[in-house]
Structure 1
Amino acid sequence: MRPYRIAALVIGLAMAAAVAALVGGVGSAADSQWALLGSQVPGSVDRPVWSIAASPAHPAVLLEATQGRGVLRSVDGGSTWASVITSGDAAWVVRFDPQQAGLAYAGTQTEGLWRSADEGKTWSRVLSAPDPDLRAIDVAPGLVLVGTAHGAFSSTDGGVTWQSLGLQNLDVSAVAIVASGTTNTLFAGADNGTSGGYLLTASGTTGSWAIVHGGFPGDATVAALAAGPAPAGSTGHSIFAGTSQGLYRSDDTGATWSQVAGLPQSDVNLVAVNPASGDQVYAASDGDQGQGGVFRSLDHGATWSPLATAGLPKRPRVTALALQAGSAMQVLAATWNPTSSEVGLYRVADPSAAVAGSPAALPSSTARATSRPTAQPRASSPAERSGSGLELGAAWRNVGIGAVLIALLCAVFVFRRWRMRREDLQTYRR
């Protein structure tokens, strides 16, 4: 091959490398990497996280419910944390009220319900709370629904007074409210079940519950419930249930159910629906029956893919899941390895996700942040970090820039050699 052709080829390769570097720097959610956030107490071992919540008004404000450190709060998106509820040590769930800016709730293992009116900065214990072991919370306009170790309860005055909704013999670990017109449809998922059913529903706060059938398995333990906006082209209300037998979905307010196919995990303990789009669903597993991980669907559960894999521990046991809205959607996931006691809180950007235009667009139910805390997780092999916690896009950009520089230097060298030989040839011919 003649020298000038070699020069042209190398220059072309350099240009192609430059384009590849630019494209590689953009990346999709599947190409992104989970970033490890700040530790709970610097220099100390982190404790398991059962629930995460992001403020709908200020997404950088986060709450964590932990086993051993109570409730923690961050105002910088998870880089640093401060203890805000230390009494009792064990907290199961944290929840922001999507309709009232600043209002938040926390459920604990031994001291019932706590309430905050300033985005979790200060808290007061709700002395009228119905049960000291409060495991699940959902909020709708004018209604607070909680699940406890002894049934379900509701409040219509922000937790001042409570009404028993029955189910006293059940350990209710997940609740959800589907608001439709003037009637709220309530759902309660139990760890222990009753008469062949672990998922129950009631119309309003009458306390008259019925076991859910219509395709829902009667022997599946319910760990998570999430209601979301109607998917594209639908006017019905959707609700997802994460169970020991997989993920189930209803598009008619719980009348009929179908198992969601395509998930690699046979057990799903966490589920969240994007409040800006009912088609975008996130599911996670603690790996009791598989490898664990976080998965995402952009078509209402028809197809699924891992929401990034790099950066998480191997075989991640995901114990908490939350969506952090902002200029771009962020997904938060907490992991725990019971063998090594390693805990981590991770975040990844999802550029494919729609973002709500305002906090008021958030529905009454998003992620259920309970990972069946009553059950002892199955021991697994010690976790190993599969990444450094840096964003993959930045890594791609660094690699791409290096490739471009090398290619350009090669191009310059070959071009200079060709020019020198050309000048020598012209001198010889003279």
Structure 2
Amino acid sequence: MASWRLLTCLGVLSAATVHAHGGLMETQSYTSRRGHPEDQLMSFTRGALISRDSGESWRWVCAEAMGYGSWQPESYAWLSGGDILTATGKALLRSRDGGCSWEPSSAFQDAWVTSLAEHPTNDALLYVATGRPAVTNLLYRSEDGGETWKPTPLSREAVFSAVRVAPSAPKRLYLSGWKGYEMYLFRSDDEGETWEDLPQAFTGSLQDAYDLKLLSVSPANPDVLWVRVSSRSTVGSILYTVLRSDDGGRTLTPVLEGDDPLVNMDVSADGRTAWVATYNHFYRGREGESFQKLPLPTGNACVTRVGEVLYACGSTWLHEWALARSADEGTSWEPLFSLREVQGVHECPAGTPVREKCTSLWPQLAAQLGAPLSPSQPDAGTPPDEEAPPKSDGCGASAGSAGLAPLLLLTLMLRGRRRAEERPRLR
């Protein structure tokens, strides 16, 4: 049935152009404000989506207002005080007014900010890693919620790809990095004051692996962590391998391999179940068992655990939801939100970048998504004879999704390859 619907949609949709960052528009990560679950944010192909009412309604923050250019954020930290921060791979962006205005931190100048990590209980304590090739990179610590930053003693001429704080032992930090085909984990047991280098050597099919990246640390055991590496298959395609360490990063064992780029992963509170999201699939691995691919989400995925509930990105264009939650470890999903339900531009005061830059862009995006064009939004940017499209019945064969037709089939077939080229930094 799904294949029939896809072919039908391709046959009836027009060849209009999609004005999106990378083809299909999708959600890419989910976060909620610490201590304020009513405030939620999703990374989106064309900026971000924000809800201030526990997910009842979602509104758009355009990329133009955020000013990140081609360095698209993939995850965010929303502090209890209200500030939102994100590492783009080039800059550390911050919003002090709930997403209406954004500015890059001046603390890092020409350094490329690749990763941001939060302390599990102390909102004021943050870590940032830089990762510009062919220069000396550092790990920075902030003790005032990101207002000021000081370098830790860790300094290497290597690309630092990700920093993580062990949830069950917050003095334990891990950092991943690489220089050419030399790959490292760095470990600190005193909040970054001293460090142990853990060079990683791979054999067999992974002997030429590259681009090591730390994914997650177990919430229950600071010695258990997961990383991923990239490698070439025998036919030249890129493979992505997830590896697990049970000894604090000294040795790594492969647990999942595929040709679909990884997005992120999360782990249950007891550390016994892990979930891995890729661009097209969703996997669950229980203790003592191999990872299994679950039926949903497919075509687009991300995962975040909040307490005992999982939140996942999905694809509006394939199964009609862009965000869902699961209370049974991903076996079944309750749809929460579709991109067709975006309510307009994030409500911001006059004079803010979101109000000034996003308002005129909204009618065009609404038409592409098949979302309602709110009467409160001016009709700038939409031709006079063009009306807001009705919502689709399922596959997107309405005026609002017509722009997806020329790219849909190619995206579904070659998505991994194209996205790997467009977003080499996997968060």
Cα drift, residue 164 of structure 1: 5.8
Q: Is the 8 A contact 1:65 1:94 kept in 2?
A: yes
Deviation at 1:152, TM superposition (A): 3.7
1:171 to 135, 154, 159: 159
CA shift at 1:161, angstroms?
Answer: 2.1
SS at match of 1:383: helix
Match of 1:249 among 228, 244, 268: 244
Question: Structure 1 residues 275, 104: CA separation in 2 closer, same or farther (over 3 Å shift)?
Answer: farther
C-alpha separation in 2, matches of 1:301 and 1:148: 36
CA 1:265–1:108 in structure 2 vs 1: closer, same or farther (change >3 Å)? closer
Residue equivalent to 1:240: 226
Q: Which residue of 2 aligns with 1:105?
A: 85
Q: Which of the residues 58, 62, 68 maps onto 1:80?
A: 58
The letter for the 1-side match of 2:197 is A
Runs of 4+ in 1 over 6 A off after TM superposition: none
* Residue of structure 2 equivalent to 1:321: 302
Give the RMSD, CA atoms, in angstroms: 4.1
The number of equivalent residue pairs is 289
Change (3 A) 1:133 1:187: closer
Match of 2:273 in 1: 280
Equivalent residue number for residue 284 of structure 2: 296
Equivalent residue letter for 2:295: A
Deviation at 1:119, TM superposition (A): 5.5
Number of the residue aligned with 2:395? none
Q: 2:311 matched to which residue of 1?
A: 331
Equivalent residue of 1:240, what SS? strand
Whole-Å separation in 1 of the counterparts to 2:411 and 2:72: 25
Work out whether residues 177 and 187 of structure 1, in 8 Å CA contact, stay in contact via their aligned partners in 2: no
Provide the C-alpha distance between the structure 2 equivalents of 1:380 and 1:173, rounded to a whole number of angstroms: 32
Change (3 A) 1:276 1:162: same
Aligned to 1:200: 185
The CA deviation at 1:124 is: 4.6
Taking only the aligned residue pairs, the percentage that are identical comes to 18
8 Å contact from structure 1 (residues 240, 249) kept in 2: yes
Cα-to-partner distance string for 1:360-382 (whole Å, 9 max, x where unaligned): xxxxxxxxxxxxxxxxxxx9833
Partner of 1:139: 118
CA displacement at 1:163 relative to structure 2: 0.9
Greater Rg over alpha carbons, structure: 1
Q: Does 1:115 align with 2:94?
A: yes
1:256-285 Cα offsets, whole Å, 9 max, x none, are 32211xx46256623322353312211123
C-alpha distance in 2 between matches for 1:167 and 1:334: 38
Is 1:95 the counterpart of 2:76? The answer is yes
State the alpha-carbon separation in 2 of the partners of residues 334 and 172 from structure 1.
29
State whether residues 102 and 120 of structure 1, in contact with CA within 8 Å, keep that contact through their aligned partners in structure 2.
no
Q: 1:184 aligns with which of 172, 180, 196?
A: 172
Inter-CA distance 181–296: structure 2 relative to 1 (3 Å threshold): closer
2 CA distance for matches of 1:124 and 1:246?
35
8 Å Cα contact 2:277/2:302 also seen in 1: yes
Residue aligning to 2:264: 271
Counterpart residue number, 2:216: 226
SS at match of 2:139: strand
Query: Which letter maps to 1:213?
Result: Q
Contiguous gaps of at least 5 residues in structure 2: 1-16, 231-239, 331-407, 414-427
Shift of 1:208: 4.7
